Chains A and B, each alone.
Chain A
Amino acid sequence: DAGVIQSPRHEVTEMGQEVTLRCKPISGHNSLFWYRQTMMRGLELLIYFNNNVPIDDSGMPEDRFSAKMPNASFSTLKIQPSEPRDSAVYFCASSPFSGSTDTQYFGPGTRLTVL
């Protein structure tokens, strides 16, 4: 299996622009997670989907952020409008099931820079 696939790997944009990050989970996994990593705050969970349904979005910072999972093989994280403080590495992860013993498999991340 190719693992979790994220695109783009790097994104540079200007403040105010819309940014869309994409994720393809591992086939057969029914849970998907979006994380953000910064030097100041470390790794934070943004949102968790189970069977394509958002279950926990308490980590989504504000209304500028939105995430969708239209089917089991694709998810997007959108920032509109983007701000310099959104600069971070965004990781997508998937797991076969959701529970306290499952393993989450992380993608390589998207490094976002907002100028």
Chain B
Amino acid sequence: DAKTTQPNSMESNEEEPVHLPCNHSTISGTDYIHWYRQLPSQGPEYVIHGLTSNVNNRMASLAIAEDRKSSTLILHRATLRDAAVYYCILRVGGTSYGKLTFGQGTILTVHP
């Protein structure tokens, strides 16, 4: 499986934008980029995913580099509730069932 590299931790202030980077230099053409997050004492929850184009939803935006070797999850206005571990995951496309392989993720701390 192609691997991802994320910073161990990041900090932000409440109501400021947060940019969470992810490197995936060995990504293949059919791999989808997924982001999940895990709030304290909860199961992971889906945030967003994309293939080539930038994506927006109610939770966040995903900016994908033109060569697809990196991506950035953007939280436009961080709240205290956004403090969580954020996982960047590559999922194999095609006929595969797209196994989710979690790495260590980025621990996001949001300061009031």
Interface positions of A (Cβ within 8 A of B): 4, 31, 33, 42-45, 48, 50, 55-56, 91, 93, 98-109
B17 at the interface (CB under 8 A from A): no
Q: How far is the CA of A56 from the CA of B17 in the complex (A)?
A: 39
Q: Which of B32-90 contact A (CB under 8 A)?
A: 32, 42-46, 49, 87
Residue from B87, B98, B103 whose CB has the most chain A CB atoms within 10 Å: B98
Distance, CA A108 to CA B38, complexed state (A): 11
Write the B89-112 contact mask toward A (1 if CB under 8 angstroms, else 0): 001111011111111100000000
> Residues of B at under 8 Å CB distance from A?
30-32, 42-46, 49, 87, 91-94, 96-104
12 A–B contact pairs at CB < 8 A? A4-B43, A45-B100, A55-B97, A91-B44, A98-B98, A100-B91, A100-B92, A100-B98, A101-B32, A101-B98, A104-B44, A104-B100
Main secondary structure of the interface of A (DSSP, over half): strand
| Residues of chain A contacted by B43 (CB below 8 angstroms) | 4, 91, 93, 106-109
Q: What is the CB-to-nearest-CB distance from B30 to chain A, in angstroms, rounded to a whole number?
A: 8
| Contact residues in B for A48 (Cβ distance below 8 Å) | 97, 99
Q: Which residues of A contact B94 (CB under 8 A)?
A: 100
The answer to whether B99 and A43 have CB atoms under 8 Å apart is no
A residues near B98, Cβ cutoff 8 Å: 98-102
Complex Cα distance, B42 from A107, in Å, reads: 8
Residue of B nearest to A111 (CB): B41
Which residues in B have their C-beta under 8 angstroms from that of A55?
97
Residues on B with C-beta less than 8 A from A56 are 97, 99
A42 pairs with B102, CB closer than 8 A = yes
Please, how many angstroms separate the alpha-carbon atoms of A9 and B44 in the complex?
16
Complex Cα–Cα for A104 and B46 (A): 7
Known contacts A42-B102, A43-B102: A108-B97 contact under CB 8 Å: no
Q: Find out whether the CB atom of A99 lies under 8 angstroms from the CB atom of B97.
A: yes
Q: How far is the CB of B44 from chain A (nearest CB, A)?
A: 5
